[in-house]
């Protein structure tokens, strides 16, 4: 019945239903991409005033120390996300997946709660916590260990402060992905390994890790992309600035400063394209590594 009905549609009907998506795609994705690709080779003072500059935006980018500071900071943040935050999220997930933990639901909610608060609030709260003289962190450390209450986290140690704030925000979020993956690990395999005499580490390494690998790869990619898009957290924590000596400058903040504070949308487009190509390259590398490890398995 359904196949007969399907044959009665005129050939253009599917395209008719695709029209809304195509319209939105063309107007809000394809056209802006094309336009930004063109603008990357221009200098602008707002969108209405432009001059073609060839490759000068890209050559200036390479020469600009601020760009490299942004690259360095973003890379440090991404590395901290992958090598500190994700292992911690996995550890938490393993802990909260264990039957031995009482009130697991409550603990999961507690660790997930910062995500519900939202990034802007986390940034504002973190800014207050890291405040010198009166910030909760310095006051507590001073009371407990006589720590210097004037310790300038948001001036001298901007990246560690950002990493801690992001850790607080996202460790619970990534924990949920790992928890879902752990709950799908085949229990028969784990029991069989245990019967064969494998200890906890061997079971984790040889059964659990291979089982959660696709999810882990996905979470790593998400974390990398998220890290390279880092903007709101430093922007709000550092009062809409990049901190002293651009210590909190990230690539997207750099793009924002160039495009919206200085009005050079052409240069900002060039930065955007460099960022897009970098993220695309990450995705490709990650995909190749995943496929290779699947083939090896």
* Residues of the shown chain interacting with another protein in the complex, contacts defined by CB under 8 A: 5, 8-10, 13, 17, 20, 43, 45-49, 51, 53, 56, 60, 63, 65, 131-135, 149-150, 152, 155, 240, 244-246, 260-264
Q: Which is nearer to another protein, 3 or 134 (CB)?
A: 134
Cα distances (Å, whole numbers) of residue 48 to 44, 53, 56, 163, 263? 8, 16, 20, 39, 11
Q: Which is nearer to another protein, 152 or 210 (CB)?
A: 152
- Least separation in angstroms between residue 148's CB and another protein is 9
- Least separation in angstroms between residue 264's CB and another protein is 8
Q: Which two tokens stand for residue 169?
A: 């925000």
Cα distances (Å, whole numbers) of residue 194 to 92, 117, 178, 209, 218? 22, 41, 22, 15, 28
Q: Which is nearer to another protein, 130 or 177 (CB)?
A: 130
Q: Which two tokens stand for residue 81?
A: 């996300």
Q: Which is nearer to another protein, 111 or 235 (CB)?
A: 235
Who's near 223: CB < 8 A, 6+ residues apart? 78, 81, 82, 85, 86, 170, 174
Q: Which two tokens stand for residue 60?
A: 């200036």
Q: Which is nearer to another protein, 27 or 285 (CB)?
A: 27
- Least separation in angstroms between residue 257's CB and another protein is 9
- Least separation in angstroms between residue 146's CB and another protein is 9
| DSSP letter assigned to residue 244 | G
Q: Which two tokens stand for residue 272?
A: 């955007």
- Least separation in angstroms between residue 147's CB and another protein is 11
Q: Which is nearer to another protein, 47 or 103 (CB)?
A: 47
SS3 133: coil
Q: How far apart are CA 164 and CA 155, in angstroms?
A: 15
> Residue 30 CA to chain centroid, in angstroms?
24
- Least separation in angstroms between residue 59's CB and another protein is 10
């Amino acid at each position: 019945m359904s196949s007969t009905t399907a044959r009665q549609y005129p050939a253009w009907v599917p395209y008719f239903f695709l029209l809304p998506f195509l319209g939105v795609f063309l107007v809000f994705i394809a056209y802006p991409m094309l336009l930004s690709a063109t603008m990357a080779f221009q200098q602008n003072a707002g969108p209405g005033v432009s001059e073609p500059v060839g490759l000068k935006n890209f050559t200036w980018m390479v020469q600009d120390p601020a760009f490299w500071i942004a690259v360095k900071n973003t890379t440090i943040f991404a590395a901290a996300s992958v090598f500190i935050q994700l292992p911690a999220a996995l550890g938490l997930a393993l802990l909260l997946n264990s039957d031995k933990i009482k009130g697991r639901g409550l603990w999961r909610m507690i660790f997930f709660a910062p995500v519900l608060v939202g990034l802007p609030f986390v940034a504002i709260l973190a800014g207050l916590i890291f405040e010198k003289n009166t910030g909760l962190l310095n006051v507590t450390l001073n009371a407990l260990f006589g720590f210097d209450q004037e310790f300038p986290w948001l001036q001298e140690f901007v990246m560690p402060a950002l990493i801690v704030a992001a850790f607080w925000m996202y460790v619970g979020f990534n924990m949920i992905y790992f928890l879902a993956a752990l709950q799908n690990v085949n229990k028969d395999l784990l029991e069989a390994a245990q019967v064969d005499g494998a200890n906890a580490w061997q079971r984790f390494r040889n059964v659990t890790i291979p089982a959660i690998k696709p999810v882990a790869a996905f979470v790593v990619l998400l974390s990398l992309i998220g890290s390279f898009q880092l903007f709101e957290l430093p922007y709000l924590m550092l009062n809409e600035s990049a901190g002293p000596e651009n210590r909190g400058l990230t690539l997207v903040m750099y793009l924002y400063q160039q495009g919206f504070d200085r009005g050079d949308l052409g240069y900002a487009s060039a930065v955007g394209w460099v960022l897009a190509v970098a993220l695309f390259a990450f995705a490709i590398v990650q995909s190749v590594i995943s496929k290779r490890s699947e083939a090896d398995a």
